[in-house]
């Protein structure tokens, strides 16, 4: 497998670095909030999810734990896979869900949980 070429990505409203890369025909938008406390994971997830507007895009979030508040808020609007990493962190991959992703309320980045 070839080396993934991650490019920095400017994301409006984000306060951690975002990167983008392409695998086959899918564009990935990735960020890491594993060292952040609330509300940063929610804020950055909402900023990243605003870019998820097509089936060939995915948003990847690395976090210190499963973000329950975030999943409760937008879980029905995206396909979400969760993977435990060797270091104890969690990798979530958000995929576009036609007809549902457009309904997500991404303007409310407050964390209630």
- List CB contacts of 53: < 8 A, sequence separation 6 or more: 96, 101
Q: What is the pLDDT of residue 1?
A: 53
Q: What is the pLDDT of residue 89?
A: 98
17-74 pLDDT tens trace: 999 999 999 999 999 999 999 999 999 999 999 999 999 999 999 999 999 999 999 9
Picking from 96, 63, 92, 59, the residue whose alpha carbon sits closest to that of residue 77 is: 96
Picking from 50, 43, 29, the residue whose alpha carbon sits closest to that of residue 92 is: 29
pTM: 0.93
Query: Which pLDDT band, with edges at 50, 70 and 90, does 113 fall under?
Result: very low
Q: What is the pLDDT of residue 112?
A: 53
> Rounded distance, CA 83 to CA 61, Å?
10
Q: What is the pLDDT of residue 2?
A: 63
Q: What is the pLDDT of residue 3?
A: 78
Q: What CATH homologous superfamily does 7-102 map to?
A: TusA-like domain (3.30.110.40)
């Amino acid at each position: 497998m070839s080396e993934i070429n991650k490019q920095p990505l400017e994301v409006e409203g984000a306060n951690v670095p975002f990167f983008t890369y392409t695998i086959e025909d899918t564009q990935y938008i990735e960020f890491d909030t594993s060292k952040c406390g609330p509300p940063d994971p929610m804020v950055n997830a909402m900023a990243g999810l605003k870019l998820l507007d097509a089936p060939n895009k995915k948003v990847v979030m690395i976090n210190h734990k499963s973000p329950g508040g975030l999943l409760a808020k937008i879980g029905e609007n995206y396909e979400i896979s969760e993977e435990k990493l060797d270091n104890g962190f969690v990798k979530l991959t958000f995929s576009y869900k036609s007809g549902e992703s457009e309904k997500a309320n991404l303007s409310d980045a407050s964390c209630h949980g």
